[in-house]
């Protein structure tokens, strides 16, 4: 399977492009990566840092990781370094550990079809750096660098970086036909970097968007999360315009075309959602909750005789839809659980007595309350000016009630109760689901009246519970 293609050009062919927009035309490479490049050179090989780290260095961004590309075969890499891990050996990737830091070292390769996997189905190793750079998705991701050769930029990546353009390497239609995920990656990079997508590249996306359906949910999830957690979540609008969201998130298209004729709103559901995403910190749960909080509005919209829109029940229907969508994207259960709670309670506006505030904290869960307040605040800022001050004051009051509960170490969850499962069992309540049930019952009593969180009182309630169960 691993055919070694002949080097297509002498190494010097691409040397000497030293346009790099940095001090002394140099990228400062971490010592571990530098060491790997030098060790490989000592053994007669060539190696470069490549891809995202070169792009980010030129932009003055902090690279997430430093990938190395080399003409050495995996076995050759493994023979040189004492600590290596076969990360993706069949795709040419060996992880080299230098002083407890991991670097992925990948042999120059030509990719076969990507099919459904994270990696191409089969790869061909090559001794040509050019071939390796050619298989990469975008010009800005297809540059390599080492101190000896400087920046190797065969496809105008530096120019595109300067102009702020995401452009496919080579023919975009061909490149997106090889791997449809690249279309969503184009949108993701445009959102992370604030770049525009080059015209032909975007046109190819619009044509081939339906083929994203071939790509696995796991791969789509990675790109969607990076996109919505970027500095430009508003690029979700282009995701719809490109036709891509129709494949993995048709609910989004419906949100963008759902008008809201109400004094509370000045945007359609989709654009309101974008403003809310921009208004919350870029964490996975908050951005997902912002993205999905009004997902059920198109389905729950009812227009009254005066032409005003109402969206009764959209938070609870939204929580159900959010769950289905996040399962579709194969998100983890903890994330799904928290986001669904935030969606369900985002519009909760009880009369703000301390008791009602306690009830809300209990229902959403004490650990999720801070995020709920953040989401509610951003939600208001994404609405019209109507009653804005009052709406924000309300949230601040809820926040202060909540913080007061924390300061007073109020009992808000089962583990804060002055009795526990052992006590319930000692009372003769059998081990099993009943223990959880009775403790939840006690908690509800305490939420209603905090003074009830006394051992003697709660033991009395346990006794009553046991007796009433016995008489059932
Ligand atoms: P990030 O900062 O998010 O890690 P990145 O550019 O490093 O961004 P990765 O997904 O880590 O992105 O991929 C590393 C490099 O591998 C890319 O810069 C690109 O050169 C190449 N690459 C990754 N995925 C693809 C793909 N689907 N098609 C072609 N090239 C790809
Ligand atoms: Mg990377």
Name which residue leads in pLDDT, 455 or 7: 455
Ligand 2 ion local residues (Cβ < 5 A): 52
Q: Which atom of ligand 1 is nearest to the CA of 136?
A: 30
Query: For 412-424, what is the mean pLDDT?
Result: 96
Number of neighbouring beta carbons within 10 Å of residue 113: 12
Nearest to 342 by CA among 368, 317, 367: 368
Residues 72-96 have a mean pLDDT of 95
Which has the higher per-residue pLDDT, 205 or 24? Answer: 205
Mean pLDDT of 74-96: 95
Instruction: Express each pLDDT in 102-115 by its tens digit.
Output: 999 999 999 877 66
If phi > 0 it is left, if psi is from -120 to 50 it is alpha, else beta; for residue 308 that is beta
- pLDDT over 80 (residue 14): no
CATH 3.30.460.10 is the classification of domain 3-163: yes
Whether residue 250 has pLDDT greater than 50: yes
Of 33, 48, 50, 51, the residue with max ligand 1 atoms within 8 A of its CB, to mutate for a pocket test, comes to: 51
β-pair type (150-152, 101-107) = unpaired
- Calculate mean pLDDT across residues 306-334: 98
> Which residue is closest in CA terms to ligand 1's atom 30?
136
What proportion of the chain, given as a percentage, has pLDDT over 90? Answer: 88
More confident residue, 472 or 253: 253
pLDDT at 17: 35
Residue 8 pLDDT exceeds 50: no
Pairing of strands 165-166, 196-197: parallel
* 251-407 placed in CATH 3.30.750: no
Given this model, what pLDDT does residue 5 score? 40
Which of the four pLDDT bands, split at 50, 70 and 90, describes residue 6? very low
Neighbours of 51 (CB within 10 A): 25
- Tell me the mean pLDDT in the region 158-164: 96
Q: For residue 115, how many other CB atoms are within 10 A of its CB?
A: 13
Note the pLDDT of residue 115.
61
The CA 465 to ligand 1 mean position distance, Å, reads 60
Query: Stretch 55-84: mean pLDDT, rounded?
Result: 96
pLDDT value at residue 389: 97
Q: Is the CB of 223 under 6 A from ligand 1?
A: no
What the block records as the tokens of 59 is 């932009």
Please check the confidence at residue 20 and state whether its pLDDT lies above 90: no
- Take residue 161 and report the two structure tokens written for it: 């970086």
Beta-carbon contacts of 405 under 8 Å, excluding residues fewer than 6 positions away, are: 357, 358, 361, 412
Alpha carbons 376 and 143: distance in angstroms, whole number: 43
Q: Taking 80 as the threshold, does the pLDDT of residue 369 lie above it?
A: yes
Measuring from atom 28 of ligand 1, which residue has the nearest CA?
137
Closest ligand 1 atom to residue 56 Cα is: 2
Per-residue pLDDT band at 260 (split at 50, 70, 90): very high
**80 alpha carbon – ligand 1 mean position (Å):** 26
**Range scoring the smallest mean pLDDT among 119-123, 291-295, 334-338:** 119-123
- Give the 3-state DSSP-derived string for 221-233, with helices as H, strands as E and coil as C: HHHHHHHHCCCCH
Instruction: List the residue whose alpha carbon is closest to atom 16 of ligand 1.
Output: 51
> Mean pLDDT over all residues of the chain?
92
Question: Contact at 8 Å (CB) between 37 and 68?
Answer: yes
Nearest to 190 by CA among 168, 173, 170, 165: 165
pLDDT(50) > 60: yes
The burial class, CB within 10 Å (0-12 / 13-18 / 19+), for 207 is middle
In short, whether 451's Cβ falls inside 6 Å of ligand 1 is no
Whether the CB of 182 sits within 6 Å of ligand 1: yes
The number of CA neighbours under 13 Å toward the Cβ of 460 is 7
**In this predicted structure, what is the pLDDT of residue 291?**
98
22 or 242, higher pLDDT: 242
Q: What is the pTM of this model?
A: 0.92
pLDDT band of 119, cuts 50, 70, 90: low
Confidence (pLDDT) at 23: 54
Q: Which atom of ligand 1 is nearest to the CA of 185?
A: 27
Percent of the chain with pLDDT over 70: 93
User: Phi/psi of residue 418, each to 5°?
Assistant: -80, 0
- By most ligand atoms within 8 Å of CB, the mutation choice from 48, 53, 65, 137 for ligand 1 is 137
Inform me whether the pLDDT recorded for 438 exceeds 70.
yes
Lowest-confidence region among 236-245, 252-261, 279-288, 456-465: 456-465
pLDDT at 465 over 90: no
Burial status of residue 236 (CB atoms within 10 A of its CB: 0-12, 13-18, 19 or more):
buried
Q: Taking residues 81-98, report their average pLDDT.
A: 94
Picking from 135, 384, 383, 379, the residue whose alpha carbon sits closest to that of residue 279 is 379
């Amino acid at each position: 399977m691993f055919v070694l293609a002949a080097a297509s050009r002498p190494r010097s062919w691409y040397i000497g492009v030293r346009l790099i927009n940095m001090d002394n035309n140099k990228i400062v490479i971490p010592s571990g990566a530098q060491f790997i490049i030098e060790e490989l050179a000592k053994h007669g090989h060539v190696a470069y840092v490549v891809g995202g780290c070169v792009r980010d260095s030129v932009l003055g961004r902090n690279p997430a990781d430093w990938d190395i590309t080399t003409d050495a075969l995996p076995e050759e890499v493994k023979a040189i370094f004492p600590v290596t891990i076969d990360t993706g050996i069949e795709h040419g990737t060996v992880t080299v550990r230098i002083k407890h830091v991991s670097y992925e070292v990948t042999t120059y390769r030509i990719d076969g079809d990507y099919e459904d996997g994270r990696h191409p189905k089969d790869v061909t190793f090559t001794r040509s750096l050019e071939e390796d750079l050619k298989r990469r998705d975008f010009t800005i991701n297809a540059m390599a660098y080492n101190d000896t050769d400087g920046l190797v930029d065969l496809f105008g990546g530096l120019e595109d970086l300067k102009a702020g353009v995401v452009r496919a390497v080579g023919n975009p239609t061909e490149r997106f036909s090889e791997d449809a995920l690249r279309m969503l990656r184009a949108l993701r990079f445009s959102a992370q970097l604030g770049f525009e997508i080059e015209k032909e590249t975007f046109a190819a996306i619009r044509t081939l968007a339906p083929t994203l359906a071939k790509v696995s949910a796991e791969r789509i999830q990675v790109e969607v999360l990076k996109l919505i957690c970027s500095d430009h979540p508003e690029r979700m609008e282009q995701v719809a315009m490109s036709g891509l969201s129709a494949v993995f998130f048709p609910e989004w298209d419906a949100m963008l075309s759902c008008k809201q004729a109400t004094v509370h709103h000045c945007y359609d559901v989709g654009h309101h959602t974008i403003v809310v995403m921009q208004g919350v910190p870029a964490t996975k749960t908050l951005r997902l909750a912002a993205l999905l909080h009004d997902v059920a509005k198109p389905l729950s919209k009812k227009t009254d005789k005066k032409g005003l829109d109402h969206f009764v029940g959209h938070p609870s229907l939204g929580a159900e839809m959010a769950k289905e969508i996040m399962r579709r994207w194969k998100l983890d259960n903890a994330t799904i659980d928290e986001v669904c709670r935030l969606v369900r309670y985002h519009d909760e506006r009880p009369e703000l007595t301390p008791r009602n505030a306690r009830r809300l904290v209990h229902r959403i869960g004490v650990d999720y309350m801070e995020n709920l307040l953040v989401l509610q605040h951003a939600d208001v800022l994404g609405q019209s000016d109507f009653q804005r001050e009052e709406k924000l004051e309300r949230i601040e009051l809820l926040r202060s009630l909540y913080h007061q509960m924390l300061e007073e170490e109020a009992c808000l969850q089962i583990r804060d109760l002055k009795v526990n499962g052992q006590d319930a069992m000692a009372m003769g309540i059998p081990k099993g689901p009943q223990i959880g049930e009775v403790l939840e019952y006690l908690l509800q009593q305490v939420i209603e009246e905090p003074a009830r969180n006394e051992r003697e009182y709660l033991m009395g309630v346990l006794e009553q519970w046991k007796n009433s169960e016995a008489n059932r």
